[in-house]
Protein backbone atom coordinates (compact mmCIF):
# COMPACT_ATOMS: atom_id res chain seq x y z
CA UNK A 1 0.00 0.00 0.00
CA UNK A 2 1.32 3.44 -1.00
CA UNK A 3 2.52 5.71 1.84
CA UNK A 4 1.13 9.25 1.65
CA UNK A 5 2.83 12.36 3.01
CA UNK A 6 1.19 14.19 5.93
CA UNK A 7 -0.16 17.05 3.79
CA UNK A 8 -1.93 14.73 1.35
CA UNK A 9 -3.43 12.70 4.20
CA UNK A 10 -4.63 15.89 5.88
CA UNK A 11 -6.25 17.09 2.64
CA UNK A 12 -7.98 13.74 2.16
CA UNK A 13 -9.28 13.68 5.74
CA UNK A 14 -10.32 17.35 5.80
CA UNK A 15 -12.16 17.29 2.47
CA UNK A 16 -13.68 13.94 3.43
CA UNK A 17 -15.10 15.57 6.58
CA UNK A 18 -16.71 18.41 4.61
CA UNK A 19 -18.06 16.10 1.90
CA UNK A 20 -19.63 13.69 4.39
CA UNK A 21 -21.05 16.47 6.60
CA UNK A 22 -23.18 17.55 3.62
CA UNK A 23 -23.68 14.10 2.11
CA UNK A 24 -25.07 12.61 5.35
CA UNK A 25 -28.03 14.99 5.12
CA UNK A 26 -28.87 15.63 1.45
CA UNK A 27 -26.27 13.83 -0.68
CA UNK A 28 -23.90 15.56 -3.09
CA UNK A 29 -20.68 14.85 -1.20
CA UNK A 30 -19.10 13.50 -4.37
CA UNK A 31 -18.96 17.07 -5.69
CA UNK A 32 -16.16 17.58 -3.15
CA UNK A 33 -14.53 14.16 -2.74
CA UNK A 34 -14.21 13.23 -6.44
CA UNK A 35 -12.30 16.41 -7.49
CA UNK A 36 -9.98 15.97 -4.49
CA UNK A 37 -9.11 12.42 -5.58
CA UNK A 38 -8.63 13.65 -9.16
CA UNK A 39 -6.25 16.33 -7.80
CA UNK A 40 -4.25 13.50 -6.20
CA UNK A 41 -3.61 12.14 -9.70
CA UNK A 42 -5.50 8.84 -9.55
CA UNK A 43 -6.85 7.33 -12.81
CA UNK A 44 -10.58 8.01 -13.27
CA UNK A 45 -11.78 4.46 -12.55
CA UNK A 46 -9.63 4.40 -9.41
CA UNK A 47 -11.09 7.79 -8.42
CA UNK A 48 -14.59 6.32 -8.63
CA UNK A 49 -13.66 3.15 -6.75
CA UNK A 50 -11.69 4.98 -4.06
CA UNK A 51 -14.50 7.50 -3.61
CA UNK A 52 -17.07 4.71 -3.20
CA UNK A 53 -14.91 2.98 -0.59
CA UNK A 54 -14.38 6.17 1.44
CA UNK A 55 -18.02 7.22 1.00
CA UNK A 56 -19.18 3.87 2.35
CA UNK A 57 -17.30 4.53 5.59
CA UNK A 58 -19.00 7.90 5.94
CA UNK A 59 -22.39 6.55 4.92
CA UNK A 60 -22.10 3.85 7.59
CA UNK A 61 -21.46 6.49 10.28
CA UNK A 62 -24.42 8.60 9.14
CA UNK A 63 -26.65 5.54 8.94
CA UNK A 64 -25.76 4.45 12.49
CA UNK A 65 -26.32 7.97 13.86
CA UNK A 66 -29.80 8.13 12.32
CA UNK A 67 -30.52 4.57 13.48
CA UNK A 68 -29.65 5.37 17.11
CA UNK A 69 -31.74 8.56 16.99
CA UNK A 70 -34.93 6.66 16.07
CA UNK A 71 -35.55 8.72 12.91
CA UNK A 72 -35.21 5.69 10.61
CA UNK A 73 -38.28 3.70 9.59
CA UNK A 74 -37.00 0.21 10.45
CA UNK A 75 -39.93 -1.51 8.75
CA UNK A 76 -39.19 -0.07 5.31
CA UNK A 77 -35.43 -0.26 5.96
CA UNK A 78 -35.59 -4.07 6.08
CA UNK A 79 -36.74 -4.03 2.45
CA UNK A 80 -35.08 -0.96 0.93
CA UNK A 81 -31.58 -1.87 2.15
CA UNK A 82 -31.26 -5.19 0.27
CA UNK A 83 -33.05 -3.76 -2.79
CA UNK A 84 -30.60 -0.84 -3.06
CA UNK A 85 -27.67 -3.23 -2.44
CA UNK A 86 -28.66 -5.67 -5.19
CA UNK A 87 -29.57 -2.87 -7.59
CA UNK A 88 -26.15 -1.26 -7.16
CA UNK A 89 -24.38 -4.55 -7.93
CA UNK A 90 -26.30 -4.72 -11.20
CA UNK A 91 -25.34 -1.13 -11.98
CA UNK A 92 -21.61 -1.66 -11.41
CA UNK A 93 -21.61 -4.79 -13.57
CA UNK A 94 -23.53 -2.99 -16.33
CA UNK A 95 -21.30 0.12 -16.38
CA UNK A 96 -18.38 -2.06 -17.42
CA UNK A 97 -20.29 -2.84 -20.63
CA UNK A 98 -22.23 0.38 -21.42
CA UNK A 99 -20.96 3.99 -21.13
CA UNK A 100 -23.35 5.84 -18.77
CA UNK A 101 -22.99 9.42 -20.11
CA UNK A 102 -26.19 9.17 -22.18
CA UNK A 103 -28.09 9.56 -18.89
CA UNK A 104 -26.69 13.02 -18.10
CA UNK A 105 -29.35 15.14 -19.94
CA UNK A 106 -32.14 13.17 -18.22
CA UNK A 107 -30.47 13.63 -14.83
CA UNK A 108 -30.30 17.42 -15.38
CA UNK A 109 -34.02 17.58 -16.24
CA UNK A 110 -35.00 15.45 -13.23
CA UNK A 111 -32.88 17.54 -10.83
CA UNK A 112 -34.44 20.76 -12.17
CA UNK A 113 -37.94 19.34 -11.60
CA UNK A 114 -36.98 18.33 -8.04
CA UNK A 115 -35.54 21.79 -7.27
CA UNK A 116 -38.59 23.65 -8.64
CA UNK A 117 -41.04 21.36 -6.82
CA UNK A 118 -39.15 21.70 -3.53
CA UNK A 119 -39.07 25.52 -3.75
CA UNK A 120 -42.72 25.84 -4.83
CA UNK A 121 -44.11 23.61 -2.05
CA UNK A 122 -43.40 25.92 0.91
CA UNK A 123 -44.64 23.67 3.74
CA UNK A 124 -43.80 20.39 2.03
CA UNK A 125 -41.69 17.95 4.04
CA UNK A 126 -42.44 19.36 7.49
CA UNK A 127 -41.25 17.13 10.32
CA UNK A 128 -43.77 14.41 11.28
CA UNK A 129 -44.08 12.21 14.35
CA UNK A 130 -45.61 9.35 12.36
CA UNK A 131 -46.03 8.50 8.68
CA UNK A 132 -48.73 6.42 7.05
CA UNK A 133 -47.54 5.00 3.73
CA UNK A 134 -50.25 3.64 1.45
CA UNK A 135 -49.78 0.21 -0.15
CA UNK A 136 -49.46 1.78 -3.61
CA UNK A 137 -46.81 4.28 -2.48
CA UNK A 138 -44.97 1.53 -0.60
CA UNK A 139 -44.71 -0.65 -3.72
CA UNK A 140 -43.66 2.33 -5.84
CA UNK A 141 -40.94 3.21 -3.31
CA UNK A 142 -39.54 -0.34 -3.40
CA UNK A 143 -39.32 -0.39 -7.19
CA UNK A 144 -37.80 3.10 -7.24
CA UNK A 145 -35.19 2.26 -4.58
CA UNK A 146 -34.05 -0.77 -6.60
CA UNK A 147 -33.81 1.44 -9.71
CA UNK A 148 -31.90 4.14 -7.81
CA UNK A 149 -29.53 1.53 -6.38
CA UNK A 150 -28.85 0.41 -9.97
CA UNK A 151 -28.40 4.04 -11.01
CA UNK A 152 -25.92 4.65 -8.19
CA UNK A 153 -23.75 1.74 -9.28
CA UNK A 154 -24.13 2.61 -12.99
CA UNK A 155 -23.73 6.41 -13.00
CA UNK A 156 -24.31 8.01 -9.60
CA UNK A 157 -24.63 11.84 -9.68
CA UNK A 158 -27.64 13.01 -7.68
CA UNK A 159 -28.45 9.64 -6.11
CA UNK A 160 -28.77 11.14 -2.61
CA UNK A 161 -31.09 13.88 -3.89
CA UNK A 162 -33.23 11.40 -5.82
CA UNK A 163 -33.54 9.08 -2.83
CA UNK A 164 -34.44 11.91 -0.46
CA UNK A 165 -37.03 13.21 -2.92
CA UNK A 166 -38.49 9.71 -3.26
CA UNK A 167 -39.07 9.43 0.50
CA UNK A 168 -40.56 12.94 0.56
CA UNK A 169 -43.02 11.88 -2.15
CA UNK A 170 -43.81 8.75 -0.15
CA UNK A 171 -44.97 10.95 2.74
CA UNK A 172 -41.98 11.42 5.06
CA UNK A 173 -40.87 14.79 6.41
CA UNK A 174 -37.45 16.15 5.41
CA UNK A 175 -35.70 14.64 8.44
CA UNK A 176 -37.28 11.19 8.04
CA UNK A 177 -36.61 11.30 4.30
CA UNK A 178 -32.97 12.23 4.91
CA UNK A 179 -32.54 9.35 7.37
CA UNK A 180 -34.16 6.72 5.14
CA UNK A 181 -32.33 8.00 2.06
CA UNK A 182 -29.01 7.77 3.93
CA UNK A 183 -29.72 4.12 4.82
CA UNK A 184 -30.56 3.20 1.21
CA UNK A 185 -27.57 5.14 -0.10
CA UNK A 186 -25.31 3.33 2.38
CA UNK A 187 -26.52 0.02 0.92
CA UNK A 188 -25.84 1.07 -2.68
CA UNK A 189 -22.44 2.53 -1.74
CA UNK A 190 -21.48 -0.63 0.14
CA UNK A 191 -22.28 -2.90 -2.79
CA UNK A 192 -20.39 -0.70 -5.26
CA UNK A 193 -17.39 -0.37 -2.92
CA UNK A 194 -17.11 -4.16 -2.50
CA UNK A 195 -17.17 -4.71 -6.26
CA UNK A 196 -14.70 -1.90 -7.02
CA UNK A 197 -12.34 -3.27 -4.35
CA UNK A 198 -12.62 -6.81 -5.75
CA UNK A 199 -11.82 -5.45 -9.23
CA UNK A 200 -8.70 -3.72 -7.85
CA UNK A 201 -10.07 -0.24 -8.57
CA UNK A 202 -10.02 1.16 -5.02
CA UNK A 203 -6.84 2.76 -3.65
CA UNK A 204 -6.80 2.09 0.10
CA UNK A 205 -3.96 4.57 0.74
CA UNK A 206 -6.28 7.43 -0.21
CA UNK A 207 -9.58 5.83 0.79
CA UNK A 208 -8.63 5.24 4.45
CA UNK A 209 -7.71 8.83 5.45
CA UNK A 210 -10.59 10.25 3.44
CA UNK A 211 -12.93 7.64 4.91
CA UNK A 212 -11.86 8.43 8.47
CA UNK A 213 -12.62 12.10 7.84
CA UNK A 214 -15.95 11.08 6.36
CA UNK A 215 -16.87 9.03 9.44
CA UNK A 216 -16.49 12.10 11.65
CA UNK A 217 -18.16 14.44 9.14
CA UNK A 218 -21.14 12.14 8.59
CA UNK A 219 -21.70 11.72 12.32
CA UNK A 220 -21.77 15.46 12.97
CA UNK A 221 -23.77 16.16 9.81
CA UNK A 222 -26.47 13.69 10.82
CA UNK A 223 -26.50 15.05 14.39
CA UNK A 224 -26.98 18.57 13.03
CA UNK A 225 -29.89 17.44 10.86
CA UNK A 226 -31.52 15.61 13.78
CA UNK A 227 -31.23 18.66 16.06
CA UNK A 228 -32.32 21.28 13.49
CA UNK A 229 -34.97 19.28 11.57
CA UNK A 230 -36.67 20.33 8.34
CA UNK A 231 -35.74 24.01 8.81
CA UNK A 232 -32.11 22.99 8.21
CA UNK A 233 -32.51 20.05 5.81
CA UNK A 234 -34.89 21.72 3.31
CA UNK A 235 -32.71 24.73 2.31
CA UNK A 236 -29.58 22.56 2.24
CA UNK A 237 -31.38 20.06 -0.02
CA UNK A 238 -32.46 22.82 -2.43
CA UNK A 239 -28.97 24.37 -2.44
CA UNK A 240 -27.16 21.08 -3.13
CA UNK A 241 -29.67 20.10 -5.84
CA UNK A 242 -29.06 23.45 -7.55
CA UNK A 243 -25.29 22.94 -7.38
CA UNK A 244 -25.69 19.44 -8.82
CA UNK A 245 -27.71 20.87 -11.72
CA UNK A 246 -24.93 23.35 -12.49
CA UNK A 247 -22.26 20.63 -12.30
CA UNK A 248 -24.13 18.31 -14.65
CA UNK A 249 -24.83 21.11 -17.16
CA UNK A 250 -21.11 21.95 -17.22
CA UNK A 251 -20.34 18.28 -17.87
CA UNK A 252 -22.76 18.30 -20.84
CA UNK A 253 -20.78 21.05 -22.58
CA UNK A 254 -17.30 19.63 -22.00
pLDDT confidence of residue 188: 95
| pLDDT tens digits, 59-80 | 999 999 999 998 899 989 999 9
DSSP state of 42: -
| pLDDT tens digits, 153-164 | 888 877 888 999
Q: What share of residues in the chain are helix, strand, coil (percent, to 5)?
A: 80, 0, 20
Q: Cβ(74)–Cβ(197) under 8 Å? A: no
Percent of the chain with pLDDT over 70: 95
Q: Cβ(58)–Cβ(20) under 8 Å? A: yes
Which has more pLDDT, 99 or 143? Answer: 143
**Quick one: residue 158, left, alpha or beta (phi over 0 = left, psi -120 to 50 = alpha)?**
left
C-alpha count within 13 angstroms, C-beta hemisphere, residue 80: 27
Amino acid sequence: METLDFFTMAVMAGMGFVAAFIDSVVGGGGLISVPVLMWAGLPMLNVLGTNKLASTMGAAAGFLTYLRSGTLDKKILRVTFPLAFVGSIGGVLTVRQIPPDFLRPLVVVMLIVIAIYSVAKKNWGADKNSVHVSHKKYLFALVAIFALGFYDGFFGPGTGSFMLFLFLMTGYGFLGAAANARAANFASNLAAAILFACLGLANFSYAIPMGLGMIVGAHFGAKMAISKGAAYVRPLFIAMTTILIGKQILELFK
